[in-house]
Every structure is written in C-alpha cells, then in structure tokens.
Amino acid sequence: MRAAVYRGPSNISLEKVPVPQISDGEILIRVHTCGVCGTDLKKIEYGLVPPPRIFGHEIAGTIVKTGPKVTRFKVGDRVTTHHHIPCRKCFYCENKLFSQCEFYRRTGTTAGFEPAGGGFAEYVRVMDWIVSEGTVAIPDDVSFEEASFLEPLNTCLKALETAELKPGEVVVIYGQGPVGLLMMQSALCEGARVVGLDFLESRLATARELGAEAALNPERDNVRETVAKFTDGRGADLAIVAAANPRAIEDAQVMVRRGGRVLLFAQTVPGEMIPVDASRICVEEKKLIGSYSASVELQEKAAHLVFTGKINVARLISHRFALELLPVGIHLAAHPSEHSLKVLIQP
C-alpha cells in the first residue's frame, strides 16, 4: 500500500509499505479521511520522535477485515477511531488524568513501523483495546470528513472540563484556527460567552458566523476594552491559548480577572519557555493550567455533538489533499493563509 513515511525532521516520503496484518481482536480500516493535527506538525517539523513512522490519528474509514474475536463490528462498517485509551486502573486514571497514564501513551493504531497513528496511509491496523473502547460507528447521515473530527473535538471538551468552565462565563480564545473554532463552539455549547482572537480576517469572520459574541484582531482592535464591557470591567473568566505564540500567553495572564484562569492548549514542544508574572498567580490568585489530549469519558459527548450537528465541523474544512500531496497539506496547515482552515488527507 501507499503510505507517507516520516524519515526525519521535515522529511516525508511517499513509499510502498506492507498492508498491516491484524490479530484476533483487531480490525483493518481502509482510510477515507485523516485530519492533519498540530501535534503531528510539530513532531515532523522539529523531529521530536525518531523515524521512521507513519503519522495521522484523526482517522475515519471503512472496515475491510476483522479478526475472529471481533464481535462489535463487521466488514463494511464505517467507523472513526481514537488512538489512545487509558488503563482505567492506575493512579492517574483514578484521578481522571487519563493522558498521563502510561498505558494511554501506547498508540493503538498503526500503518507500520513504530505505532504513530497510521492515518497517512491507505490502510490502518486498529489494535484490540482500541477496537473495544476507542472505535465509534459512523451514522449513515454523517460523512467520513465530519466523523474525523471526533478526536480533536474531544480534546477541546476535555480542555473546557479541565478549566471548569461554567455557563455564563466570558472566555477569550487566542487563535481561531480549526482547533480554536472547535473550542469556541464547544464553549458556546456549555453556555459561555466567547471572544475569539486571530490575525486573519477570514478566521474572524468564520468565528462570528459560528456564534462568537466578538471576534477581534489584537493588532487592530481594543480587546481589553471589549472584554471589560462584557464583564463589568473585571476581565475574562477564562483565557484559552490555542495558538503557539508566547506573546499570547503573556497577554492572557493580563486579560483574565483576579482569580481567573489561563489554559494552555497549544504548547506541546518540550523545552519551550514562556513569560510568567508570578505576582499575578500569587497576589491576584490567577490560575495557569494546561490540558493535553482527549478523555475516554467524553467520547460519547463528542460523538453526539458532531453527529447531531450541534457543532458545525464541516464548516471548518478548507482543503482536501491526496496522500501524494501530504507535504503540501502539512505546509499549509503549519503556515495558514486567509483561505485555509482544517486540512484533510484522503488516501
């Protein structure tokens, strides 16, 4: 089969590799759509993991083979998968810190080499524990493209849960790219009032279209004045940094009220240092927190929001590329234009 193989920093090679073999409790999926995720972009650009690997974990496709012990699914079923599932038994799972579970860190979908997702290939093997708990059937009236958003939406829902978002709170979201717009819609579903920030006018227009109370360009608009009007001068209850920009983190610490929260969502490169005014955390009792990856307990909620259309994921799709053009898609996702949002790969 064809696969896009990571061979080193910023090096993706289209190659022929064996179709994965499956065992008794596993399934083989013919990939229809795989979203390009920001974490994969960073791994590829910075060489954060050793090659070779086949990335891509926002997978939706059709089952073409099942192991003899598989009873939940059959050949021909349309499904989407998560690639991590926790053990549910360890200290971290007992405290609902699922992404810190050692078993969770084992990637359960692969197209070959060290498991790394595998969606940037024609076929992907889904291991038994993902078949049991991380594979979701796609309703007939939902497209593969829409279904591929379940995992990234889950990460946004988990972030809002971690931030303890309450109805009526004012949230400022830095970055209105695909993830920021998912986060914005998720916050609206929780009853929040959202201010979206971005430098690209097309993304601000999309944010307004999808329900943001305000969508502002920090280089042009007076964001603090707008937020002050929404909060009787206090400042935002919560700021979410969904952009890999250290300046946004610094600004967010000022944007939130005393006792407010700043949640980091896009800071995933090890060793990255950020500016922190410690007095804001100590004297003003502001909280600086983080959220990473998905929660197994939010799978059904994410599926419901996508499958019912309560969150409009189709509006976020801007580009579809064949597997051969994955390097083009990666470059576009990493260097967005006025006309780009979510990039999908369709092998």
Judgement on whether residues 215 and 171 belong to the same structural domain of the protein: yes
Judgement on whether residues 206 and 310 belong to the same structural domain of the protein: no
User: Phi and psi of 274, rounded to 5°?
Assistant: -130, 150
**What would the mean pLDDT of 68-81 be, rounded to a whole number?**
97
Question: Residue 58 in contact with residue 122, Cβ under 8 Å?
Answer: no
Judgement on whether residues 200 and 330 belong to the same structural domain of the protein: no
- Count Cα neighbours of 192 within 13 Å in the Cβ-side half-sphere: 28
Of the three residues 269, 290, 311, the one that is the final residue of a domain is: 290
Answer whether residue 158 is part of any domain. Answer: no
Kindly state the helix (H) or strand (E) to which residue 227 belongs, with its residue range: helix 223-230
CATH of the domain at 199: 3.40.50.720
Q: Residue 146 — pLDDT band, cuts 50, 70, 90?
A: very high
Of the three residues 290, 308, 324, the one that is the final residue of a domain is: 290
- Report whether pLDDT(284) > 90: yes
Nearest by Cα to 187 from 137, 236, 138: 236
DSSP secondary structure code for residue 264 in this structure: E
The encoded tokens of residue 107 equal: 């990637």
Q: What is the pLDDT of residue 11?
A: 94
Residue-wise pLDDT tens digits, 91-123: 999 999 999 999 999 999 999 999 999 999 999
Judgement on whether residues 180 and 147 belong to the same structural domain of the protein: no
Nearest by Cα to 188 from 204, 170, 203, 205: 170
Judgement on whether residues 209 and 317 belong to the same structural domain of the protein: no
Q: Residue 267 — pLDDT band, cuts 50, 70, 90?
A: confident
- Report whether pLDDT(244) > 90: no
Q: What is the pLDDT of residue 133?
A: 95
Answer whether residue 159 is part of any domain. Answer: no
State what percent of residues in the chain have pLDDT above 70: 100
Q: What is the pLDDT of residue 90?
A: 97
Residue appearing with tokens 């004012």? 170
Judgement on whether residues 171 and 268 belong to the same structural domain of the protein: yes
Answer whether residue 42 is part of any domain. Answer: yes
Nearest by Cα to 180 from 166, 198, 162, 165: 198
Query: Dihedral of CA 108/111/115/119: which sign?
Result: negative
Judgement on whether residues 301 and 226 belong to the same structural domain of the protein: no
Q: Which domain holds residue 235?
A: 164-290
CATH of the domain at 89: 3.90.180.10
DSSP 86-146: --SSSHHHHTT-GGG-TTTTS--EESSSS-S---SBSEEEE-HHHHHHSEEEPPTTS-HHH
pTM greater than 0.85:
yes
Please indicate whether residue 266 or residue 140 has the higher confidence score (pLDDT): 140
Residue appearing with tokens 């003899």? 68
Q: Residue 274 — pLDDT band, cuts 50, 70, 90?
A: confident
Judgement on whether residues 136 and 20 belong to the same structural domain of the protein: yes
Judgement on whether residues 33 and 126 belong to the same structural domain of the protein: yes
Judgement on whether residues 8 and 146 belong to the same structural domain of the protein: yes
User: Phi and psi of 25, rounded to 5°?
Assistant: -100, 15
Residue-wise pLDDT tens digits, 29-63: 999 999 999 888 989 988 989 999 999 999 999 99
Judgement on whether residues 281 and 189 belong to the same structural domain of the protein: yes
Judgement on whether residues 72 and 173 belong to the same structural domain of the protein: no
Number of domain units in the chain: 2
Pairing relation of β-strands 135-137 and 58-66? unpaired
